[in-house]
Amino acid sequence: MDFSLACSYVLALLLAALTAASLALCGKTRQWRCNAIWLLVTCLMSLLLWVAWVGFYLYGNAWLGRSPDWNDPALAIALVAQGWLLLIFHAIPESHICLKVTDTTTRTLQVRQKSGQA
C-alpha cells in the first residue's frame, strides 16, 4: 500500500511539473522560456529515473533473486540519483541564470554611471 501511494504521489507531482513547464513555454518573456526548458528537462529526466527505479523494484530484484535484500539499497540509490539530477539539471542552470541576470544588470548600471560622468 505504501509503495502504490508513493508512486501515485510522485507521478502526480511529475505530471503537475510537466504541465506547468509546458504552459510556461508559451510565456512571452525569454526568462520564463529558459526556466521552463530546464524544468522540462529536469522533469523528463526524473520521469526516466522513476520508471527505471519502479521497473527495477518490481521486476529486477525478483529476476536477480535478491528481492527482499535489495529493496532498500535500490531506493537509496534512486533517491541519491534524484538529488544529483535535480542539482545538475535544475539548481545549477537556475543559479547560472540568476547570476547572469545580476551580472548584466550590474554592467548596465556601470555603463550608465560612466556615461553620466563623461
Per-residue pLDDT reduced to its tens digit, 26-52: 878 877 888 888 889 999 999 999 888
Give the model's pLDDT for residue 107: 67
As for how many domains the chain has, the answer is 1
Distance CA 57, CA 68 (A): 10
pLDDT, tens digit, 9 for 90 and up, residues 74-109: 788 888 998 899 889 888 888 887 777 666 667 676
Give the model's pLDDT for residue 16: 92
Give the model's pLDDT for residue 101: 65
Give the model's pLDDT for residue 45: 92
Domain region containing 94? 2-117
| Helix spans in the chain (H) | 2-24, 30-55, 61-64, 71-86, 92-117
pLDDT band at 118 (very low <50, low <70, confident <90, very high): very low
pLDDT, tens digit, 9 for 90 and up, residues 1-20: 566 677 788 889 889 999 99
Give the model's pLDDT for residue 112: 72
Residue 44 half-sphere exposure toward CB, CA atoms < 13 A: 8
